[in-house]
Amino acid sequence: MDIGFVPILTIFVLAVFVGFEVITKVPPILHTPLMSGSNAISGITLVGAIASVGAGSGVAAAVLGFVSLVFASTNVVGGFLGTHRMLKKFRKRD
Amino acid sequence: MSFDWVNLAYLIAIVLFILGLRGLAHPRSAVRGNVMGALGMLVAVVVTLADQEVLPIGLLAGGIGIGAVLGVGLALSIKMTAMPQLVGLFNGFGGGASVLVAGLAILEIAGVIGTAPGEPDLQLSIAAVASGLIGTVTFFGSLVAFGKLQGIVTEKPVRYFGEQVVKIVIGAAAVSAAVMVVLDPAAYEMFWALVGISAVLGILLVVPIGGADMPIVIALLNSYSGLAAAATGFVLSNTILIVAGSLVGASGIILTRIMCVAMNRSLSNVLFGGVGGEAAGDGEDDVYAGKIRSTSAEEVAMILKSAHRVVFVPGYGMAVARAQTPVRMLTEAMESDGLEVEFGIHPVAGRMPGHMNVLLAEEDISYDKLREMDDINPTFPNTDVTIVLGANDVVNPRARENDSPIAGMPIMDTDKSRTVVVIKRSLSPGFAGIANPLFARDNTLMLFGDGKKAMEELVSAYHEA
C-alpha cells in the first residue's frame, strides 16, 4: 500500500508531539522502566521484519530476514517482560 | 478496494502504545500500562502475519522462537543491578533489526532479491540510509555501552590524540556513503559499506565516554533505536513503525535532556568534551587536612537513636557494593522506632535514569519514600541525619561555586542537615576528579569501609544501641 510522503511525514511529526506530551508526565522514579518499556516498543521493527521476510526470496534475504527477526523479537519479548518484572517491584507500603 | 483492516488494527495498536506509555505516569498504573503496550505489540504482530501473502513458516517460527526464548531468558535471569546493561543491549538489538530490514528493502530495489527490481524511490532510499546509519550506530554503540557497564570494556573515558578529527573523518565518510546510496540505490554494496563505516562510528562515539555519563548515553541510544525504527517505517511506508518509533525517539530525547540538565552540561560536552580524566589538582590536602572526622558504626547508631528524621542519599556506590538489603533492614528498624526515613534520589545517580529507584523498589521500600531532588532539598534543614551512601559528585557543595569544574550542577543539599554521615571506602574523588568539601565540614562524619559491610555493621550496632 502506498501512502504519499507528506501524509506520512504528517503522521511522524504528530507522533513526535504526542510522544513529548506523554513522556513529560512520567516521574523520575519510573525513568528506568520508561526506558526499558519504550525500548520494547521500538522493537516494532519486528512488524517490518515479518513483512520483509514474506516479500523476498533467496538465501541473502532469508539470512538477513532471520537475523532481524531474532533481534527484534528478543527486543520485544525481553523488553516487555523485563519492564514487567521491574514495575511489579514498585509497591506502596503503609 | 477492500477495507484496510491491517491499518485499522495498527491504529488500535498505536492507541494501546500511547495509553501504555501514559500509564507510566504513576507507579499505580504502570504495570497495567506496560501490559497494554505488550498487547498493542501482539495485535500488530498477529495482524502483520495474517496479512502476508507468502508465509515462510519455518523462517518466521525459527526467528521469532529463538528471539522469544532469548528475550525471556535474559529478562528473567538478569539481576536488577544489571538492568542498565540489559536495556543497553536491547536498544542495540532494536537498532540492528531496523538496519537489516532497511537493507532488505535496498536489496529488493537493486533486484538482488525478489522477483523484479523495484522502483527506485527517493523517500525509500533516504529513509534506508537514515536507518542504516542511525541503526548501526545504535547497535555498535550499545554493544560498547553494554561492555562498559558489564565491566568488559573499561569504564574510564578512553581519549586519544586527534580523537575529534578521527570521528569527524569517519562521520564524513558515512555521510558520503549515504549520499551515494541515495543517488544510486541499485548500487546496494554501498549500503553495506555505509553500515560498516557506521559500525566504526558507533564504537568510536561511545568508547571515549566515562561511566558516570552512561545515563546520558543510554538515554540517547534509546532515542536512536526509536528513530531507526521510524526511518525503517518510512522505507516500508508503514504507519505503525513510524508512530511507535517516533514515540520512543521522543522519549529518549526527553530523558537525554533531563540527564544533561541534571549535570548542567550540554549534550555536545558529554559526547565530545568530557569531565574527569584531567587531574583537577585543586589541593585535596588543603580541603581535607586535619578536618576529617572518622566515625564508627556504634557512634552513628547512637546518633540515629536520638534522631527524628533520617534521609538516605544513595549513589552508584550503593549498587556496586550491593548495599540495598542492609539499607532496607536499617530503614525498617528505624521506622519501627518511629523515625521518619526518606530517600533523596539525584536524577543522575547510578548508571541509567532512575537506576536507584529500581534497586530500592526491589527491596520493597515504599515508592512514596523515594523523593526527587527538588522535592527533598527543602527538607534537609529539618533532617537530623543524612546518610550519603556511595555518592560523591552529586553531594559536592563546590557545584555552588562558579570556578569549579562542576559549577552549576544541581546537587543534593545534604550539608544543610544537622549531621551528615558519609559511607565511603576512602577520600578518593568522584568522577569529576575534585575534592569534596562536604567531607571536611564540622557536621560531617566519615564512616570508611565497603558500603555493604558498613551498612551491615550499622544495622547490628543500631539493634544493640
Neighbours of A8 (CB within 10 A): 18
Question: Are B100 and B28 within one domain?
Answer: no
Question: Are B250 and B345 within one domain?
Answer: no
Hey, CA dihedral for A70, B122, B14, B131, is it positive or negative?
positive
Last residue of a domain, one of B29, B62, B77: B77
Last residue of a domain, one of B57, B77, B97: B77
Residue B102 lies in a domain: yes
For residue B123, give the nearest of A72, A4, A55 by alpha carbon: A4
Enumerate the H helices of chain A as residue ranges: 5-24, 31-42, 45-55, 59-88
Question: Are B166 and B132 within one domain?
Answer: yes
pLDDT in the model for residue A59 = 82
Q: Are the beta carbons of A77 and B68 closer than 8 angstroms?
A: yes
Min Cα distance A77 → chain B (Å) is: 5
Residue B140 lies in a domain: yes
CA distance B264 to B444: 26
Q: Are the beta carbons of A82 and B78 closer than 8 angstroms?
A: yes
Question: Are B18 and B141 within one domain?
Answer: no
Q: Given CB atoms, is A27 within the 8 Å cutoff of chain B?
A: yes
Question: Are B334 and B460 within one domain?
Answer: yes
Q: Are the beta carbons of B253 and B221 closer than 8 angstroms?
A: no
Per run of 10 residues, the mean pLDDT along chain B (length 465 residues) is: 83 96 94 96 95 86 95 92 90 95 88 64 90 96 93 82 87 94 86 95 90 88 95 93 95 92 85 55 70 92 95 93 94 95 93 91 93 95 95 91 86 95 89 87 93 95 91
Which three cell numbers mark A21?
506530551
Residue B28 lies in a domain: yes
Question: Are B357 and B266 within one domain?
Answer: no
Which three cell numbers mark B163?
580523537
Mark yes or no for CB contact B244/A41 under 8 Å: yes
Which three cell numbers mark B339?
523515625
Mark yes or no for CB contact B37/A76 under 8 Å: no
CA distance A90 to B357: 9
Chain B contact set for A69 (CB, 8 A): 59-60, 62-64, 67, 97
Residue B279 lies in a domain: no
3-state SS of chain B: helix, strand, coil percent to 5? 65, 5, 30
Question: Are B92 and B64 within one domain?
Answer: no
Neighbours of B189 (CB within 10 A): 11
Residue B25 lies in a domain: yes
pLDDT in the model for residue A11 = 93
B286 burial (CB, 10 Å; 0-12 / 13-18 / 19+) is: exposed
The answer, yes or no, to whether residue A94 has pLDDT greater than 50, is: yes
- Which CATH number belongs to the domain containing residue B372 in this structure? 3.40.50.1220
The pair phi, psi for residue B132, each rounded to 5°, is: -60, -45
3-state secondary structure of B126: helix
Residue B221 lies in a domain: yes
CA distance B396 to B391: 9
Question: Are B157 and B257 within one domain?
Answer: yes
pLDDT in the model for residue B276 = 46
Q: Count how many domains chain B has.
A: 3
Q: Hey, which residues of B are catalytic here?
A: 393
Question: Quick one: which H or E segment has residue B389?
Answer: strand B385-389
Share of chain B above pLDDT 90, in %: 67
CA distance B141 to B144: 5
Radius of gyration of chain A (CA): 18
Question: Are B53 and B194 within one domain?
Answer: no
Amino acid at A48: G
Min Cα distance A50 → chain B (Å) is: 7
B381 burial (CB, 10 Å; 0-12 / 13-18 / 19+) is: exposed
Chain A contact set for B50 (CB, 8 A): none
For the entire predicted model, the pTM comes to 0.90
Question: Are B25 and B55 within one domain?
Answer: yes
Mark yes or no for CB contact B34/A19 under 8 Å: no
Mark yes or no for CB contact A61/B248 under 8 Å: no
End-to-end CA distance of chain B, in Å?
A: 81
Last residue of a domain, one of B77, B94, B111: B77
CA distance A76 to B250: 19
Question: Are B197 and B66 within one domain?
Answer: no
| pLDDT digits 0-9 by tens, B399-454 | 998 888 888 899 999 999 999 999 999 888 887 788 899 999 999 999 999 999 99
Min Cα distance B366 → chain A (Å) is: 4
ipTM of the complex: 0.95
Hey, CA dihedral for B441, B446, B451, B457, is it positive or negative?
negative
**Residues shown for chain A:** 94
Residue B278 lies in a domain: no
Structural domain harbouring B311: 284-464
pLDDT in the model for residue B327 = 96
Mark yes or no for CB contact A71/B354 under 8 Å: no
Spell B331-363 as b/e; 16+ CB within 10 A means b.
bebbeeeebbbbbbbbbbbbbbbbbbbbbbbbb
Q: Given CB atoms, is A29 within the 8 Å cutoff of chain B?
A: yes
Best residue of A35, A36, A67 to probe chain B, by most B CBs closer than 10 Å: A35
Instruction: Name residues whose C-beta falls within 8 Å of residue B167's C-beta, 6 or more positions apart in sequence.
Output: B201, B204, B205, B272
pLDDT in the model for residue B111 = 74
- CA angle centred on A39, ends A38 and A42, rounded to 5°: 90
| pLDDT digits 0-9 by tens, A15-73 | 999 999 999 999 999 999 999 999 999 999 999 999 888 766 778 888 999 999 999 99
